[in-house]
Amino acid sequence: FSSSDWSGSVTEYNFSANGTLSTTPTWDAGQIINTQNWDTGRQILTYTFNGGSTGAGVPFRWANLGANEQAYLNTNIFGAVDNEGPQRLTYLRGDPTNEGTGLDFRVRPTSKLGDFIDSALQYVGPPVMNYPSTSYAQFVQTYANRIPMVYGGANDGMLHGFDANTGQELLAFVPRAVYDNLSALTAPTYTHRFYVDGSPTVGDAEFSDGTWHTVLVSGLGAGGRGIFALDVTNPQNFSESNASNLVLWEFDATSDPDIGYKFSQPTIVQMANGEWAAVFGNGYNSTGSGHAILYIVDIQTGAVISKIDTGVGSTTTPDGLSTPVVVDSPGTTVAQYVYAGDIDGNLWKFDVSSTNPNQWGVAYSSHGQPAPLYQAVDSAGNPQPITVQPAIGQGPSIGGTPTGYMVYFGTGTYMLNGDNTNTSQQSIYGIWDDGQVVPNRVTANVLVQQTITNTVAANGSTYRVVSNNPVTYTGPPSPMGWYIDLTTGERSVRNPVLHSGRINFTTTVPSSVPCSSGGTSWVVELDPMTGGQLNYSVFDVNGNGIINNSDFLTLPNGTTAPASGVEYTGILSAPTIIASGSSTGNETLLFGTTGTTSGGTGSTSLPEAGGKGTGRVSWIQLR
């Protein structure tokens, strides 16, 4: 994104086998879209009730809109009805006619694409899952050569889909939930707002008629209280004339006031009752009960299969559920448990293992009320908000058998007013779920604390070393996990990643400058069972391209230790992990970056040592 005119782009860069990124993009969608005819060269869809009781996907054209959508576009940024809605719609499609002249709409000098800020891109190639179904095997074969796509939400009011080979936009969608702010985009006095700022999830699912489809589901982030689903099975079918089939459903606060701003990223799963569903948290600042709530909705229709209310939160101090992670039933691809955190620091476990949705609910209770698996609090007992999706791994081996699950998460926020200067104590955790509630660290001493023992400069970079206090799991009242308190202003707002026998946390230390995109980040790699330092080197500290014991750090007391983390300038995304394919088994961690206080963007890569692999235990799909 460019904060000078709030334009944006998606670019493709070649990534070489040795881990080097090209400095020249293969294509730039922000420039390509300027060459696409706004009227005939773009396929833009939307969702409307159009006076009926059932919503439907329609072309984003004035005549197809319902009365409510037309009324929003006919109203200017000052709340006055000026009946310029048809011109606003064509502007949003890319029509430059009234930019700076005529109706004096806002000039877009760089690109017709709006800014991409918090929406992570989703690449979709051929179907890649391995569901045990002959019909799915046929689906894989049918779409083995479909057009690869890249999807992402922008703050121009649209979810965009680009041809990954060429960068050309093939599809766009305007959610109904953003219409109340669309007129602001044409105002010469426009100041930035969020629209489609959530990260999409894409997965394969079986519909009620037995056919398989690839479905995209996305919330709006800070852009609105809503979530929508599109059928993106075959890009060759992307057309406005096919809108009613491509747009599956939209579910927003007008449907249910418990839907909040959805920073929660949905998950696509098969439930124990056989239905395929989108699973998501209700998000933040809802206008309903204020509770943290888990939604499970039919992937094809958007009908609510189950709404699991934790009962925590109120209208005066609203809570909200963050991104869930779903765990398979052993030996199957069917959902058994769901884990998710909330803004009040509660880590919830939901049991969805029954074939009867009426039996689904919060897994634990206390005094007859739903109880979280764990509540994250600082040393003074203040709740620590959980806004990340937890990572799930096998539990410790008791008597030679893995028992329960380890649940990894960090705490903190980076989306609220004042977050840049917030210095409240935040932490990262590994909690053992062995089938019972774990007391918080103030109530009982059941977690082992690891600490950041040293910060060391080496070869132009800054590294940190973490303690390696032992954690011996034998069952209650033995340790039930571990935690590390982060440094002042540091928080964990990127999803942890369990890979190669270690747990990765990418933490953020924002700049204290208001509205700045700058700051620093730490990439931290730990032993997942203890939270302590690994017994081998992960980072190429000396920069010789080989990761071994020569990369140990020399500490002030003269001893040596492997680095547990490395600092970067800029705000890093969670990593994408790319195996090198070499005999060393090394990996490359690729991060998106938001760089300086002026708002630059880019990417960086970090070579890491390989390690033992881990099997799939959750429904996170890497494409």
Instruction: List, for residues 174-195, the tens digit of each pLDDT value.
Output: 999 999 999 999 999 999 999 9
Token pair recorded at residue 219: 């919330």
Report pLDDT for 620. 35
Q: Which of 96-105, 324-333, 450-459 has the lowest mean pLDDT?
A: 324-333
pLDDT-derived band at 585, boundaries 50, 70, 90? low
Mean pLDDT across the stretch 592-614?
58
Report pLDDT for 587. 80
Handedness of CA 338, 396, 403, 368 (dihedral sign): negative
Report pLDDT for 450. 98
Report pLDDT for 599. 41
pLDDT-derived band at 426, boundaries 50, 70, 90? very high
Report pLDDT for 184. 97
Higher pLDDT, 342 or 623: 342
Q: Are 403 and 377 in contact (CB under 8 A)?
A: no
pLDDT at 45 over 80: yes
Q: Are 29 and 169 in contact (CB under 8 A)?
A: yes
CB atoms within 10 A of CB 557: 6
CA distance 617 to 512: 39
Q: Which of 65-79, 273-287, 307-321, 608-622 has the lowest mean pLDDT?
A: 608-622
CA distance 126 to 480: 41
Mean pLDDT across the stretch 79-87?
97
pLDDT at 223 over 90: yes
pLDDT at 614 over 60: no
Burial class of residue 315, CB neighbours in 10 A (0-12, 13-18, 19+): exposed
Q: Dump pLDDT digits (tens) for 476-533.
A: 778 999 999 999 999 999 999 999 899 999 999 988 765 555 789 999 999 999 999 9
Report pLDDT for 358. 97
Report pLDDT for 459. 94
Report pLDDT for 100. 94
410-443 burial, b if ≥16 CB within 10 A, otherwise e? bbbbbbeeeebebebbbbbbbbbbbeebbbbbee
pLDDT-derived band at 600, boundaries 50, 70, 90? very low
Report pLDDT for 602. 61
Burial class of residue 241, CB neighbours in 10 A (0-12, 13-18, 19+): exposed
Report pLDDT for 601. 53
Residue 173's nearest CA partner among 157, 192, 195, 194 is 157
Taking only Cα atoms into account, the Rg of the chain, rounded to an integer number of angstroms, comes to: 24
**How far apart, in Å, are the Cα atoms of 170 and each of 125, 230, 234, 410, 616?**
15, 14, 11, 37, 33
Mean pLDDT across the stretch 326-332?
87
Q: Dump pLDDT digits (tens) for 234-292.
A: 999 999 999 999 999 999 898 899 999 988 789 999 999 999 999 999 999 999 999 99
Higher pLDDT, 141 or 571: 141
pLDDT at 416 over 80: no
Find the helix or strand (DSSP H, E) in which 179 lies. Answer: helix 179-182
pLDDT-derived band at 53, boundaries 50, 70, 90? low
